[in-house]
Amino acid sequence: MRATVIHGPRDIRFEDAPDPTIEAPTDAIVKVVASCICGSDLWPYRGDDELDGPRTIGHECLGVVEEVGADVRGFAAGDFVVVPFDHCDNTCAACRNGAHSACDNVAITQSGQGEYARVTQADGTLVKTDGVPDRDLWPSLLTLSDVMATGWHAAVAAGVRAGGTAVVVGDGAVGLCGVLAASQLGAETIIAMSRHEPRQELARRFGATHVVAERGKEGVAAVKDVLGGVGADAVLECVGNAPAFDQAFRVARPGATVGFVGVPHGAEVPLRVMFSKNIGLAGGMAPVRRYLPELLDLVLARTIDPGRVFDLTLPLEQVAEGYRAMDERTAIKVYLEP
């Protein structure tokens, strides 16, 4: 097959790669019909994550089942499916408790930015639609493989509630989906922390009631000015680096919870602040399969349209240009077509 392969920092190539095959009876092979670039893909792209030789990359995709292993019962060739990036059996203790991303058999999609992807634990992981959905829904359905479910996880972990207040730190696709999630969960005041006008506009369309462009002490002051002198009931940390973590805890009111979903890079947990202000921390890698049925219903009913986060569409063979655009922040999120 042809697939996206990362060879080193800023060295992305669309080239020949081995076809994925059925390696276990619980596997499925999916023909990818739409994929995208994740903000977390930029960590290895920028050299912040070590690479052990060239490898395929990409973990967000929609597709059509091509082949299934002998033990797969719920899916057959031809099924149109959303592929959660974190595969799970949906039966172990972790899954039964809603922590699907910590499944006893967890695995991650490895070649989502390619022509085919192997899905382990297919019965527990995949979610199919009733036939092939309208093409205009595909971008929103694609977000359910990761980014929308991750933003939703941040909101749930932070304890967003009807009538409450929320601050979203991070204006990438996850942060914007976090704004949408907070709005759907009923937050009355939602502050998006963003310094980029196109992202600010989308945040407002997704339900942000206020936008704060400042950072550091000025950002804290601006948030508290909106919230009557106190911090937020719920804070969504959607970046993962130290400045974002610091900002998240500084805009949280005493007794609040920070829901974090950004892949941690250089961030430290401020235990003294948590102890003195009784601020909680929850979240982590999103258990996509936990939220997918509800989110799928919302998308199919056209209640939410998270596909708006895609502001650049490219053919898959131009994936390297997509990485450059996201790295340079000229694109929020790149949609890739075969």
> What is the CATH topology of the domain spanning 148-283?
Rossmann fold (3.40.50)
Q: What pLDDT does residue 59 have?
A: 98
**pLDDT higher than threshold 90 for residue 19:** yes
Query: Helix count (H) and strand count (E) of the chain?
Result: 12, 18
Nearest 5°: CA angle at 234, between 232 and 240?
110
DSSP β-bridge partners for residue 87: 107
Q: Is residue 330 very low, low, confident or very high in pLDDT (cuts 50, 70, 90)? A: very high
* Positions of CATH 3.90.180.10 in the chain: 2-146+287-337
Query: Crossing angle of helices 147-158/173-184, nearest 10°?
Result: 50
Residue among 109, 104, 117 at smallest CA distance from 146 = 109
Listed in sequence order, the residues at least 6 apart from 75 whose beta carbon sits closer than 8 Å to its beta carbon are 28, 65, 68, 81, 122, 123, 126, 128
pLDDT in the model for residue 216: 93
pLDDT at 109: 98
pLDDT above 90 for 88: yes
CB-CB contact of 287 with 100 (8 Å): yes
Q: Which H or E run contains 105?
A: none
Q: What is the pLDDT of residues 163-205, one digit of tens each?
A: 999 999 999 999 999 999 999 999 999 999 999 999 999 999 9
What length does the chain have?
338
DSSP letter assigned to residue 12 = E
Give yes or no for residue 53 having a pLDDT over 90: no
- What pLDDT shows up at residue 50? 86
**pLDDT band with cut points at 50, 70 and 90 for residue 315:** very high
Nearest CA among 211, 140, 209 for reference residue 169: 211
Query: How many angstroms separate the Cα of 292 from the Cα of each of 87, 237, 245, 256, 286?
Result: 12, 21, 27, 26, 11
Which residues of the chain form CATH 3.40.50.720?
A: 148-283
Paired residues of 65 in beta bridges: 30
Cβ neighbours of residue 336 closer than 8 Å, sequence gap 6 or more: 34, 35, 36, 37, 113, 313, 314, 315, 316, 319, 322
Q: How many CB atoms lie within 10 A of CB 268?
A: 9
| pTM given for the model | 0.97
Q: Could you give the CA distance from residue 17 to residue 56 in angstroms, rounded to a whole number?
A: 8
Nearest to 305 by CA among 183, 154, 139: 139
End-to-end Cα, the chain, rounded Å? 12
Quick one: pLDDT at residue 198?
95
pLDDT digits (tens, 9 = 90+) for 96-124: 999 999 999 999 999 999 999 999 999 99
Looking at residue 69, its pLDDT comes to: 98
Please compute, for residue 22, the number of CA atoms within 13 A of its CA located in the half-sphere on the CB side: 14
Assign domain 2-146+287-337 one CATH number from 3.40.190.10, 3.40.50.720, 3.90.180.10, 3.40.50.300.
3.90.180.10
Q: What is the mean pLDDT of residues 260-281?
A: 94
